RNA sequence: GUGCCAGUAGCUCAGUAGGAUAGAGCAACGGACUUCUAAUCCGUCGGUCGGGUGUUCGAAUCAUCUCUGGCACGCCA
């Protein structure tokens, strides 16, 4: 018999599930060996064993379908094979109390309660570090998100990308990666050109009248452009009227761009996002990195020249078409800069893993960028793009346009003022990135009680209230070693402990899928289990031994909730 | 036209390395506060998993076809 390596099932201190899985796998493997030795089953190759938690508690705490999977190989009916295995199992030294066979051939494992007590012990011992796992093994990962054009305020797409990216970064950090949060400032190129044209038009309109100055067709129509022009005039007057167009645009851009970038920084900061790196696109042009990147591609035969432009050779990279890198006017495209930027991330700065968050409207860019990195020897697996579906705003039941060009959009700053950071972040992290998000402004602005963020925060405040009341009587949680946890016999108590024990597992799954929204839903489950417990059991006023046992449970629940809310940067209030 | 994402309860959504009777919140209805915060809890109602075919012990999950919605296909980013 060959036992395949159990990938990722290394000993993880904080994760009781890992320990249990190891025990189940080990017990089952030994049973296979034992059966083989006796000749009751032929030699077989075991696939990686999947251990799951059955939906129904009656089917045990954990189960495996291994008997069904290898029934053919063993030339035995699944149930018969399961029976043979079970008869050879030795549970000594494990949490396993008994096993059962059910359905088409599932082997169900029933555990004794020690694992629940151990789970609480781990939480109390690790406290704010509970949930940390070593999935990443210190690998350097760069998470780039928002990266909005600094030509205007942040919109709802940025808001979703911001919440998602920041939480992905938080989860990966918890999962043992060395995370860098990064914002790519598009302070060069065409959109800056249009920004300058728009500012100039508003500037001139101020003096010459709106009807006498044509506004650029693809310009930025937002009010903020008019404000910039007005503010500039207030400060510096009409001096630019006598300058050349070029000088005028440069002066206006030099004035307005830093203000926009500063506003973006402020807004994101009040949204709870702190970046490690603000990376300027302009710097890539100025340092010659873009030029060098294009030269590299040229020298290695990845480019074509046609129609007076330099193109990325699509055929050679397995793409459907060629892409322009340098326009016929000699100016590199956004794509050229983006290739240089990612080359910088991988080659210059040596990240092991690069994650970009893009709105789904950029999905066409994914294959291109991934292909464009192969000439630099970057493994495609190291470059991941998380696409999130765009946000649709609803007002009075109607879709509200959110383009910053229309000037009618509600900005992230507006949203934060209206609904607050907690509700906004929670809301944007409730759904998987792939699902469309309809943001009902009326509902969000209402700050109604059905907002799930209050539900979770209330659970935390309730716990703090219990702890506070007991503290007033000089009572504080004791170390589990001094507490009789076997008194926690109620259904609600057990369910709550089980839920708390799943946290490290949730971190692993969130990190692997890059879906932190599952953490948001998980913490709602924790809160729900706590509220049920709260309504079924009392802490204060119970007989002392029981009170101290419940106090451990309550304190552990507080730790988990606080822990997650801190990770997703939402307030954990002690009073509400 | 081609490609990407989505379609699961009245509404908003979970659930996809195939598993046992498909879940939650909201809404609706009925209950629970002299006791640590009722912003809570308990219960009831609610389903052709868009549709068809296939793969197999077993499909919301995989393959294929099809319908519907959103998005992308630029010397824009």
Q: What is the pLDDT of residues A232-273, one digit of tens each?
A: 999 999 999 999 999 999 999 999 999 999 999 999 999 999
Q: Residue A305, Cβ neighbours under 10 Å: how many?
A: 10
Average pLDDT over residues A164-190: 96
CA of A166 to C1' of B1 (A): 39
Average pLDDT over residues A327-332: 94
CA of A388 to C1' of B47 (A): 28
- The whole-number pLDDT of residue A8 equals 36
The per-residue pLDDT for range A209-222, each reduced to its tens digit, is: 999 999 998 889 88
CA of A447 to C1' of B62 (A): 43
At how many degrees (to 10) do helices A412-428 and A245-270 cross? 40
Average pLDDT over residues A429-443: 84
Q: What is the mean pLDDT of chain A?
A: 91
| Nucleotide at minimal C1' distance from the A332 CA | B75
| Nucleotide at minimal C1' distance from the A218 CA | B76
Reported confidence tier of residue A398, pLDDT bands at 50, 70, 90: low
> What's the DSSP call for residue A187?
-
**What are A438's strand-pairing partners?**
A392
Q: Which residue is nearest to nucleotide B27 (CA to C1')?
A: A450
Q: Which residue is nearest to nucleotide B75 (CA to C1')?
A: A327
- The whole-number pLDDT of residue A450 equals 73
| Nucleotide at minimal C1' distance from the A54 CA | B20
CA of A156 to C1' of B68 (A): 26
- The whole-number pLDDT of residue A4 equals 34
A450 and A423 Cβ atoms separated by less than 8 Å = no
| Nucleotide at minimal C1' distance from the A389 CA | B5
Residue A406 has pLDDT above 60, yes or no: no
Q: Which residue is nearest to nucleotide B3 (CA to C1')?
A: A364
Topology at the third CATH level for domain A452-567: Isoleucyl-tRNA Synthetase; Domain 1 (1.10.730)
CA of A436 to C1' of B7 (A): 11
The per-residue pLDDT for range A192-203, each reduced to its tens digit, is: 999 999 999 999
Burial of A288 (0-12, 13-18, 19+ CB in 10 A): exposed
CATH superfamily entry for domain A140-185+278-446: HUPs (3.40.50.620)
Rounded CA-CA distance A51/A8 in Å is 13
CA of A29 to C1' of B56 (A): 26
CA of A54 to C1' of B22 (A): 14
A452 and A303 Cβ atoms separated by less than 8 Å = no
Average pLDDT over residues A107-135: 94
CA of A16 to C1' of B25 (A): 29
Residue A330 has pLDDT above 90, yes or no: yes
Task: Write out which nucleotides of chain B lie closer than 7 A to a protein Cβ.
Answer: 3-7, 12-17, 19-27, 32, 35-42, 57, 69-77
CA of A85 to C1' of B19 (A): 20
CA of A290 to C1' of B26 (A): 52
More confident residue, A390 or A88: A88
Rounded CA-CA distance A283/A285 in Å is 5
- The whole-number pLDDT of residue A397 equals 64
Reported confidence tier of residue A411, pLDDT bands at 50, 70, 90: confident
**What are A326's strand-pairing partners?**
A310, A332
Nearest to A24 by CA among A85, A102, A105: A85
| Nucleotide at minimal C1' distance from the A430 CA | B13
CATH 3.40.50.620 segments of chain A = 140-185+278-446
| Nucleotide at minimal C1' distance from the A330 CA | B75
- The whole-number pLDDT of residue A1 equals 34
CATH 1.10.730.10 segments of chain A = 452-567
The per-residue pLDDT for range A462-488, each reduced to its tens digit, is: 999 999 999 999 999 999 999 999 999
Reported confidence tier of residue A396, pLDDT bands at 50, 70, 90: low
Domain covering A2-112 in this structure, CATH number: 3.30.1360.70
- The whole-number pLDDT of residue A11 equals 39
Q: Give ipTM to 2 decimals.
A: 0.95
The per-residue pLDDT for range A364-374, each reduced to its tens digit, is: 999 999 999 99
Structural Rg of chain A based on CA atoms? 30
- The whole-number pLDDT of residue A436 equals 85
Q: Which residue is nearest to nucleotide B40 (CA to C1')?
A: A531
| Nucleotide at minimal C1' distance from the A309 CA | B75
CATH 3.30.1360.70 segments of chain A = 2-112
Min mean pLDDT across A397-401, A487-491, A527-531 is at A397-401
> Where in A191-349 does DSSP place strands (E)?
277-280, 303-306, 309-312, 323-326
Rounded CA-CA distance A54/A136 in Å is 28
| Nucleotide at minimal C1' distance from the A192 CA | B77
Residue A14 has pLDDT above 80, yes or no: no
Report percent pLDDT > 70 for chain A.
94
């Amino acid at each position: 018999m060959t036992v395949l390596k159990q990938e990722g099932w290394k000993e993880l201190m904080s994760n009781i599930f890992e320990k249990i899985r190891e025990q189940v796998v080990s017990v089952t493997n030994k049973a296979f060996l034992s059966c083989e030795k006796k000749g009751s089953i032929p030699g077989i190759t075991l696939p990686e064993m999947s251990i799951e938690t059955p939906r129904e508690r009656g089917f045990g705490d954990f189960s495996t379908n291994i008997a069904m999977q290898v029934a053919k190989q063993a030339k035995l009916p699944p149930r018969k094979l399961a029976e043979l295995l079970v008869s050879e199992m030795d549970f000594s030294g494990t949490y396993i109390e008994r096993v059962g066979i059910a359905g088409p051939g599932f082997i169900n494992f029933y555990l004794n309660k020690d694992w629940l007590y151990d789970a609480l012990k781990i939480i109390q011992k690790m406290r704010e570090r509970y949930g940390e796992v070593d999935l990443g093994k210190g690998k350097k990962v760069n998470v780039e998100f928002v990266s909005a054009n600094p030509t205007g305020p942040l919109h709802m797409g940025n808001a979703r990308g911001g919440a998602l990216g920041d939480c992905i970064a938080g989860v990966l950090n918890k999962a043992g990666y060395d995370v860098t949060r990064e914002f790519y400032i598009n302070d060069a190129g065409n959109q800056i050109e249009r920004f300058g044209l728009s500012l100039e038009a508003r500037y001139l309109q101020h003096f010459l009248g709106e009807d006498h100055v044509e506004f650029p067709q693809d310009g930025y129509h937002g009010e903020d452009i008019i404000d910039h022009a007005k503010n500039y005039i207030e400060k510096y007057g009409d001096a630019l009227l006598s300058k050349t167009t070029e000088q005028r645009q440069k002066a206006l851009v030099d004035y307005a761009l830093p203000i926009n970038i500063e506003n973006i920084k402020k807004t994101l900061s009040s949204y709870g996002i702190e970046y490690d790196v603000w990376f300027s696109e302009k710097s890539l042009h100025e340092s010659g990195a873009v030029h060098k990147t294009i030269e590299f591609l040229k020298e290695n035969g990845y480019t074509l020249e046609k129609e007076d432009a330099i193109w990325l050779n699509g055929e050679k990279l397995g793409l459907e078409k060629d892409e322009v890198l340098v326009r016929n006017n000699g100016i590199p495209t956004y794509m050229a800069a983006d290739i240089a930027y990612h080359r910088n991330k991988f080659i210059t700065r040596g990240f092991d893993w690069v994650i970009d968050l893009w709105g789904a409207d950029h999905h066409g860019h994914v294959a291109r960028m991934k292909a464009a990195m192969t000439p630099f020897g970057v493994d495609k697996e190291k470059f991941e793009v998380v696409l999130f579906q765009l946000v649709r705003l609803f007002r009075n039941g109607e879709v509200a346009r959110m383009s910053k060009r229309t000037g009618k959009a509600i900005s992230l700053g507006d949203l934060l003022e209206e609904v607050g950071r907690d509700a906004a972040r929670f809301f944007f992290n409730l759904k998987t990135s792939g699902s469309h998000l309809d943001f009902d402004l009326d509902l969000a602005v209402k700050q109604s009680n059905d907002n799930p963020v209050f539900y979770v925060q209330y659970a935390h405040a309730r716990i703090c209230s219990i702890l506070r009341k007991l503290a007033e009587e000089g009572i504080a949680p004791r170390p589990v070693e001094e507490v009789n946890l076997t008194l926690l016999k109620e259904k609600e108590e057990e369910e709550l402990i089980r839920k708390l024990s799943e946290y490290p597992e949730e971190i692993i799954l969130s990190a692997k899928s890059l879906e932190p929204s599952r953490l948001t839903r998980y913490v709602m489950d924790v809160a729900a289990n706590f509220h049920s417990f709260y309504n079924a059991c009392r802490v204060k006023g119970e007989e002392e031994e029981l009170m101290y046992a419940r106090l451990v449970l309550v304190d552990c629940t507080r730790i988990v909730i606080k822990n997650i809310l801190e990770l997703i940067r939402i307030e954990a209030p002690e009073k509400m």
